[in-house]
A and B are shown apart, each in its own frame.
Chain A
Amino acid sequence: MDKKYGVYICTGCGIGDALDAQALCGVAEEKGLPAKTHAFLCSKDGVELLKKDIAAGTNTLVIGACSRRVNYDTFSFEGCIVDRVNLREQVVWSHPRSEFPALTDEQKDDGVHFDRLQMLAEDYLKMGLARVEKVDLPQPFKVESLSRKILVIGGGMTGMSAALDAANAGYPVTIVEKEDVLGGHARQWRAQLPLGDPYDRLAPPLVDAKIKAVMSHPNIVVKTETVVARIAGEPGEFVVTLKKPGEKIEFDVPYPLPDEMKLDEKGNELDAEAQHKKYMEYNEGKTDILTFDPNGELFGAVILAAGWRPYEPDEGEFERFGFGKLPDVVSNVQFEEIAKKGKIVRPSDGREAKSVVFVQSPGGGDDADFAYAGAVTSLVSLKQAKYVRSDFPEAKAYVFYQHMRTPGLSENFYKRIQQDPGIFLSKGEVVSVSQNGGGLVVEADNTLLGEKIRVHADMVVLATGMVPVTKDDPVINLAYRQGPGFRDNALFDDYADSNFICFPYETQRTGIYAAGGIRRAMTVEESMEDAAGAALKAIQCLESVNRGVSVHPRSGDMTFPDFFFQRCVQCKRCTEECPFGALDDDERGTPKPNPTRCRRCGTCMGACPERIIGFADYNIDSIGSMVKAVGVPSEDDYEEPPLRILGLVCENDAYPALDMVGLNRQSYSAEVRFIPVRCLGSVNVIWIKDALSQGMDGVFLLGCKHGDDYQCHFVKGSELADTRMRKIGEALSSLALEEERVAQFQVAIDDYDKLPKIINDFVEVIEGLGPNPFKGF
């Protein structure tokens, strides 16, 4: 676009009192750009001024006023590039004149004194001017053939529910189910846990009604005895190959080459083509991920509802309960199957089971429930105790638990069970189960019924957990270079869960949303709710793709990464580091972008050593030019020139925190220049090198916490930045620059009270090191 610039300085909110606004205008005018001031730019009158200029052709506005976090709508103009120079929160509010005094007339231009605050403001304005020169208005990315069809993997209660929810919103759905019938585990249930108010009684299973609704729905196609061989492509146009379970076909998903196979005999890494050759051998009989199945079916988004399987104990793991040896000791899943068939009878001899002990916790000195239990197994024990009682009026059921986990309104069901005089509920640890004549003897310690008790039982039921099927198999079989499954499931005990409390559907694979037992042990009620949420996210994803915008967390962002392939050196870093697996490289290592998998964090841009990746409004040059716009005074300018330090800050958390420092009128060093970045993962080391080579004295990054409980909205950004910073340290020492000149600090958004100290401490470290020896060159 043909840019016509306009620079506007607001003098309200103390800006005009602390700064020389005319001098700021001079900064723009020196570049030949028109600049205006206004005492209250966000007022109607101020906005009118802007609108008049826009009507007269101005389309690129640099507004020096408050933070972009506020007045976002006031200063948003269709078809215009707008840069908000944060003169209020980051300059005048966090650098009071009392601490950073203005110059007296005598001090001006004396070669000794300088006005730190005015310099700060002028630098920020220059940075804003530099940025708008280098950015463009984004054009949306459109896929060629958008499919609005949704694939649901798994035909259990969650999958069927998700399918119905999406179909009832007008979207065509295909369910694939590996068994020959729909229904999953629910088909084996005699009764269902409470589904709604008053949450105190069992309900007849919903499964048959669900199956009927699914089968008769005009928008739903059901494919039983079918699994996913591979999902290739990207949201909006996934190319899916389906197959019969157990079949081996050429479009089975290939697996990435294990790291140890990427090396030659000497332990050196093989080149891309040699690796590709090995990878094809390793995946013999399968086509590469970049070859799309010509008969594949197009889908827009995927719901993963493949559910769970019963826990399988290790050899001897439940020995003290006689599990695996004593036929009348069963798991809760086995017990449910028995109950489904009719009155409860013992597996050993078919005799009626009139005394049943339910074991809630494996014990052994620990009060944890069985693995993968959630709150579900507590509820299931109560349900099954009720079966025993309703089958035989004289029967007794014992539930030994460490913690009865019936959270929320499911407490109502627990209370109702407590009223049954034939159900004994007690905290306690079951220490052994043994055969005694025709029955079992259960020994329990520390119960509410006595310190050590023995119960004669016909059966013992272990409340074992629900293992997500993703523990055994990737299930989604993504034809992605990073591999076929969700990444980092180990963090979630192999569930396909999200790390985010606020955004529970966000995973590292765009367009694929997990629901139900595959992501946490859930009751049917919870699973059905979760299914509705996953269906919404799937619909939202494909509608976002249709509009050419990003999904969470940069929802609505129209930019996407653009690659200048002529200069690609096939280093594969972008492909490997993208938290969302958005890139697939070919046999030579050239990345193939899949823009609708992308979340626009810019991690690829940060990773690229050739700096060939960028976004319309955020790229190597735009940030690099901001860095270069910072004035670095040397001894030629002042006797004792001030330090210049660059701070690259995560715009999601650290930048708002900095605004809070200003809002609270806390102050920090005026030698630091901040640049917000989409994510620390997008920080390219060239910016740091540029800063240091132009004489800046130090650089620091402010971003989110990493580790298992990472707070990075792009999962890996702050962690990757940390790794890169450690590597840059080595590069610095080779330049005879101290490693301490570059640092990264982890801050949470509510750490604003700590920020001034973090900043000032870093400045102090740099002061200790002295000025950058490259200054003035």
Chain B
Amino acid sequence: MTQDKAAPASQSIMVVGGGISGLTSALEAAEVGYEVFLIEKNPYLGGRVAQLNQYFPKLCPPTCGLEINFRRIKDNPKIHVLSMAEVISVKGTPGDYAARVKLMPRYVNENCTCCGACAEACEAEISDEFNFGMGTTKGAYLPFEMAFPARYVISSQIIGTEDAKRCREACKYDAVDLDMEERQITLKIGAVIWATGWEPYDASRIDNLGFGLYPNIITNMMMERMAAPNGPTRGRILRPSDDKEPASIAFVQCAGSRDENHLPYCSYICCMASLKQATYVRERYPEARIYIFYIDLRAPGYRYEKFYKKIKEDENVFFIKGKVAEVSEDVETKNITVVAENAVSGEKIHQTVDMVVLATGMQPTAAGMDLPADLKLSAEGFFINDFEKGGVFAAGCANKPADVVSCNQNATGMALKAIQTLVRA
């Protein structure tokens, strides 16, 4: 290939998004020997998987792999992590880009020892977004125990209040810096990997499924937080209306997915996620009954099929092939009745349960976003890779809905595509 080599090509890669895909791309490229800038908008790395209680089908904690990945970062000076950072623009050509990155103030500097005195001093409670608003957290907080970077954050919501001052005064290490301001930096990079992931589809937009109207209807991601030992209920699954241990739970599959009015595609993970969550409930409540309403049970491959088979053997788990058409609440008991039509028999099914979990799907974070770089989006908001052109690539769920294994395979491959760009330039 004859290309102009006059322009000083950068040998570094920018990875946008520090979830499992972005982490994987960043680490795999850095361990080949390339310099990587990992940009994450949250104050912590790990993205969606950090919010999960367990992975299917192994039922192992995501923090186990995250901790190894964090250690790989700690051991590798080639990776530069920028948290609370967002990419504003990427300009240039493959091999030679300039990225503007906005750094939001954390109000806590590198002096932070994670001692927690600021959180203790802070009186204000703010909505806990890590737990999807179930419960609150202090205005000065550590996003979760194993967060990386292990550093507190002062919420911008308390800036300018007495509380912020209390935090500053409580810190013996001069780590609270309330004058911190947003700033911008420019990174010279040769390739970009977008791993901006997904958002849980907003369940309140699904009119017929009652989310937001009835307290005992929650989403699958909320269920993950409930089941997590560091979640708002410390791992107890309780129905929101009265903190009762549920005796019956219905899972509503394809809540928004495979639906032209919402997400026209299949979100890939929700069937397996519900099967997994069924084990959370069964482990805690040996008497509980579980009803799974589905269109198709998508548990493809030897591993997932095995897992599905195991769940099917549980006589307290009932599978109903039928799409849920409506839900209603009993005003007194706050129980929910789920109405579905059995797709095979045509019979209408009314099932009353203590609690309902909506298996909501994934919407790409980029959907409806103003793209700061030269990238193409599909109608649904997924990035379309152009390998011929190169330079900028999408990995993981920014590219298509997928499970963690597939995301990691994809993200590893995209690290190589980025490297090819640098080699070629």
Which residues does A use to contact B, with CB under 8 Å?
12-14, 40, 42-43, 66, 69-70, 72-73, 165-166, 168-170, 196-198, 367-369, 371-375, 378, 401, 403-412, 415, 427, 446-448, 492-493, 495, 497, 499-505, 520-521, 526, 529-533, 535-537, 539-540, 543-544, 547, 551-553, 555-557, 652-653, 656, 660, 663-664, 705, 709, 711, 713, 748-753
> Which residues of chain B are near A367, meaning CB under 8 Å?
297
CA distance A38 to B296 in the complex (A): 63
> Which residues of chain A are near B264, meaning CB under 8 Å?
411-412, 415
Interchain CB contact under 8 A, B114 and A43: no
> Which residues of chain B are near A12, meaning CB under 8 Å?
113, 115, 172-173
Interchain CB contact under 8 A, A533 and B412: yes
CA distance A539 to B420 in the complex (A): 12
Contact of B65 (CB < 8 Å), options: A412, A493, A501, A539: A501
Give 1 or 0 for each of B368-397: 1 = CB within 8 Å of chain A CB.
Answer: 000000000011101011000000000000
Query: Can you list 21 A-B contacts with CB-CB less than 8 angstroms, sorted by A residue number?
Result: A13-B115, A43-B111, A69-B150, A72-B74, A165-B417, A169-B416, A373-B300, A375-B298, A415-B264, A427-B321, A503-B408, A504-B405, A526-B406, A536-B415, A539-B416, A553-B68, A555-B76, A660-B146, A711-B64, A749-B61, A753-B229
A-B contact sample (9 more), CB < 8 A, given A165-B413, A368-B305, A652-B67: A166-B416, A408-B400, A409-B400, A501-B55, A531-B413, A532-B412, A653-B67, A660-B146, A709-B58
Known: A66-B113, A529-B410. A165 touches B416 (CB 8 A): yes
> Which residues of chain A are near B64, meaning CB under 8 Å?
502, 652-653, 711, 748-750
CA distance A652 to B382 in the complex (A): 35
Asked if B343 is an interface residue, CB under 8 A from chain A, the answer is: yes
> Which residues of chain A are near B379, meaning CB under 8 Å?
198
Closest A residue by C-beta to B175:
A43
Interchain CB contact under 8 A, B265 and A536: no
Closest B residue by C-beta to A547:
B33
Closest B residue by C-beta to A544:
B31
> Which residues of chain B are near A750, meaning CB under 8 Å?
53, 61, 63-64, 228-230
Interchain CB contact under 8 A, A536 and B412: yes
> Which residues of chain B are near A42, meaning CB under 8 Å?
111, 113
Asked if B286 is an interface residue, CB under 8 A from chain A, the answer is: no
Known: A168-B420, A372-B302, A503-B65. A532 touches B113 (CB 8 A): no
Closest A residue by C-beta to B319:
A367
> Which residues of chain A are near B235, meaning CB under 8 Å?
753
Closest A residue by C-beta to B376:
A197
> Which residues of chain A are near B401, meaning CB under 8 Å?
407-409
Top 10 A-B pairs, shortest CB-CB distance: A502-B65, A532-B413, A533-B412, A375-B300, A536-B416, A750-B61, A411-B266, A533-B413, A403-B296, A493-B302
Contact of B60 (CB < 8 Å), options: A375, A446, A501, A752: A501
> Which residues of chain B are near A493, meaning CB under 8 Å?
302
> Which residues of chain A are near B65, meaning CB under 8 Å?
500-503
Q: Number of residue pairs across A and B with beta carbons under 8 Å? A: 240
Interchain CB contact under 8 A, B409 and A555: no
Asked if B189 is an interface residue, CB under 8 A from chain A, the answer is: no
> Which residues of chain B are near A539, meaning CB under 8 Å?
32, 416, 419
CA distance A321 to B126 in the complex (A): 63
Min Cβ gap A407→B in Å is 5
Contact of A532 (CB < 8 Å), options: B58, B76, B115, B414: B414
CA distance A373 to B302 in the complex (A): 8
CA distance A169 to B28 in the complex (A): 14
Closest A residue by C-beta to B404:
A501
Known: A533-B410, A748-B64. A753 touches B305 (CB 8 A): no
Asked if B325 is an interface residue, CB under 8 A from chain A, the answer is: no
Interchain CB contact under 8 A, A169 and B412: no
CA distance A40 to B228 in the complex (A): 34
Min Cβ gap B29→A in Å is 8
Asked if B91 is an interface residue, CB under 8 A from chain A, the answer is: no
> Which residues of chain A are near B57, meaning CB under 8 Å?
709
Known: A374-B301, A415-B264. A504 touches B113 (CB 8 A): no
Asked if B193 is an interface residue, CB under 8 A from chain A, the answer is: no
Interchain CB contact under 8 A, A664 and B172: no
Closest B residue by C-beta to A526:
B406
Asked if B332 is an interface residue, CB under 8 A from chain A, the answer is: no
The bracket for how many chain B residues form the interface is 35 or more
Report B27-79 residues with CB < 8 Å from chain A CB.
Answer: 27-29, 31-33, 53, 55, 57-69, 71-72, 74-76
Interchain CB contact under 8 A, A748 and B343: no
Closest A residue by C-beta to B309:
A368
Min Cβ gap A660→B in Å is 5
Interchain CB contact under 8 A, A652 and B68: yes
> Which residues of chain A are near B68, meaning CB under 8 Å?
502-503, 553, 652, 713
> Which residues of chain B are near A495, meaning CB under 8 Å?
302
Asked if B20 is an interface residue, CB under 8 A from chain A, the answer is: yes
CA distance A652 to B68 in the complex (A): 7
Asked if B234 is an interface residue, CB under 8 A from chain A, the answer is: yes
Asked if B268 is an interface residue, CB under 8 A from chain A, the answer is: yes
Closest A residue by C-beta to B67:
A656
Interchain CB contact under 8 A, A197 and B31: no
Known: A69-B150, A529-B413. A407 touches B300 (CB 8 A): yes
> Which residues of chain B are near A408, meaning CB under 8 Å?
265-268, 400-402
Known: A427-B344, A448-B344, A502-B408. A375 touches B301 (CB 8 A): yes
Interchain CB contact under 8 A, A748 and B61: yes
Asked if B180 is an interface residue, CB under 8 A from chain A, the answer is: no
CA distance A13 to B115 in the complex (A): 6
> Which residues of chain A are near B74, meaning CB under 8 Å?
72-73
Min Cβ gap B270→A in Å is 10
Known: A501-B58, A529-B409. A169 touches B420 (CB 8 A): yes
CA distance A429 to B296 in the complex (A): 14
CA distance A544 to B20 in the complex (A): 23
> Which residues of chain B are near A499, meaning CB under 8 Å?
58
Interchain CB contact under 8 A, A502 and B266: no
> Which residues of chain B are near A448, meaning CB under 8 Å?
343-344
Interchain CB contact under 8 A, A170 and B423: yes
CA distance A165 to B412 in the complex (A): 12
Closest A residue by C-beta to B321:
A427
Asked if B4 is an interface residue, CB under 8 A from chain A, the answer is: no
Interchain CB contact under 8 A, A405 and B115: no
> Which residues of chain A are near B309, meaning CB under 8 Å?
368
> Which residues of chain B are near A749, meaning CB under 8 Å?
61, 63-64, 67, 146
Interchain CB contact under 8 A, A540 and B305: no
Asked if B165 is an interface residue, CB under 8 A from chain A, the answer is: no
CA distance A407 to B362 in the complex (A): 13
Interchain CB contact under 8 A, A505 and B412: yes
Known: A73-B74, A411-B266, A415-B264. A198 touches B409 (CB 8 A): no
Min Cβ gap B27→A in Å is 8
Asked if B334 is an interface residue, CB under 8 A from chain A, the answer is: no
CA distance A44 to B349 in the complex (A): 67
CA distance A378 to B145 in the complex (A): 43
Closest A residue by C-beta to B56:
A501
Interchain CB contact under 8 A, A504 and B419: no
Closest B residue by C-beta to A655:
B67
Min Cβ gap A452→B in Å is 12
Known: A40-B173, A501-B60, A652-B67. A405 touches B298 (CB 8 A): yes
Contact of B297 (CB < 8 Å), options: A403, A520, A705: A403
CA distance A410 to B266 in the complex (A): 8
Asked if B100 is an interface residue, CB under 8 A from chain A, the answer is: no
Interchain CB contact under 8 A, A70 and B300: no
Interchain CB contact under 8 A, B59 and A532: no
Asked if B258 is an interface residue, CB under 8 A from chain A, the answer is: yes
Closest A residue by C-beta to B53:
A750
> Which residues of chain A are near B146, meaning CB under 8 Å?
656, 660, 749
> Which residues of chain A are near B53, meaning CB under 8 Å?
750
> Which residues of chain B are near A521, meaning CB under 8 Å?
300-301
Interchain CB contact under 8 A, A556 and B416: no
> Which residues of chain B are near A536, meaning CB under 8 Å?
28-29, 32, 412-413, 415-416, 419
Interchain CB contact under 8 A, B63 and A530: no
CA distance A440 to B400 in the complex (A): 41
